[in-house]
C-alpha cells in the first residue's frame, strides 16, 4: 500500500469507495477506508467536486456531510439501449420498430432533440 497513485484516479477511487460502502460516508470515513497518506482536505475537495457534478448526494451527519453515490438512471438507460442496439441486427430496422412504440409526445421530444443535435453535429455524420 501507499505506492504511486495515478493523479486522475483519486476521484474514481473516492467514488468507488462510496459505492462499496452501501451507506453514507463522511470525508473522514473515506480517508479511513482508503488509508495510506491521503490528506483529509484532498478527499473533502474531491467530494465537494463530485457533489457539484451531481455524482453524489450529501446529507448532514453531525457537524460533517455524509455522501452517497447517485445512480444516473437516464445515463444507465441510454447505456442499456446502446448495448441492445450493438447486440447486432439491422440498426435501421430496430430503430424504426422502436419508433413505432413511442407515444406522440415521446416522438415529438425525439424530433426536437434530433433537430437540436443538427445544430451541433456530433462526429457521426
Partner 1 sequence: MLSVYLPLLFSALFGVAAPTLGRRLPPAAATWLLSVGGLLAAAGSAASFALLGFTLVGQAPLLAARGHWSDTALRHADPVWPPIAAAAIAALLVLAARFALAAGRRLSALRAAYQLAAVLPAAGGELAVIDHPGLHAYAVPGRPGRIVVTATLLRTLNAAERRAVLAHERAHLTHRHHLHHTIVHLAAAANPLLRLLPAAVALSTERWADEDAALACRRDTVAAALTTTGAGTRTFATPAVVLAAAATDVAVRIHALRSPAPRLTPWRVTLLLGLLVATVLAVAEAAHDTEQLFEFAQYAYRIGHR
- For residues 22 and 69, the answer to whether their CB atoms sit within 8 Å is no
State CA 68 to chain mean position distance: 13
Scanning the structure block, which residue is given the C-alpha cell 437516464? 74
Query: Which cell is 107 given?
Result: 416522438
- For residues 70 and 55, the answer to whether their CB atoms sit within 8 Å is yes
Classify residue 24 as exposed, middle or buried by CB count within 10 Å of its CB (0-12, 13-18, 19+). Answer: middle
The residues binding partner 1 (CB under 8 A) are 1, 3-6, 8-9, 11-13, 15-17, 19-20, 22, 33-35, 50, 53-55, 69-72, 75-76, 78-79, 82-84, 86-87, 122-124
Q: Closer to partner 1 at the Cβ: 14 or 66?
A: 14
| Rounded least distance, CB 8 to partner 1, Å | 7
Amino acid at each position: 500500500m501507499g505506492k504511486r497513485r495515478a493523479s486522475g484516479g483519486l476521484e474514481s477511487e473516492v467514488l468507488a469507495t462510496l459505492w462499496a460502502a452501501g451507506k453514507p460516508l463522511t470525508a473522514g470515513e473515506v480517508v479511513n477506508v482508503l488509508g495510506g497518506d491521503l490528506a483529509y482536505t484532498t478527499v473533502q475537495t474531491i467530494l465537494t467536486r463530485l457533489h457539484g457534478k451531481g455524482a453524489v448526494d450529501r446529507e448532514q451527519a453531525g457537524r460533517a456531510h455524509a455522501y452517497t453515490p447517485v445512480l444516473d438512471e437516464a445515463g444507465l438507460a441510454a447505456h442499456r439501449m446502446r448495448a441492445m442496439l450493438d447486440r447486432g441486427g439491422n440498426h435501421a430496422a430496430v430503430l424504426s420498430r422502436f419508433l413505432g412504440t413511442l407515444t406522440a409526445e415521446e416522438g415529438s421530444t425525439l424530433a426536437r432533440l434530433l433537430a437540436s443535435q443538427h445544430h451541433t453535429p456530433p462526429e457521426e455524420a
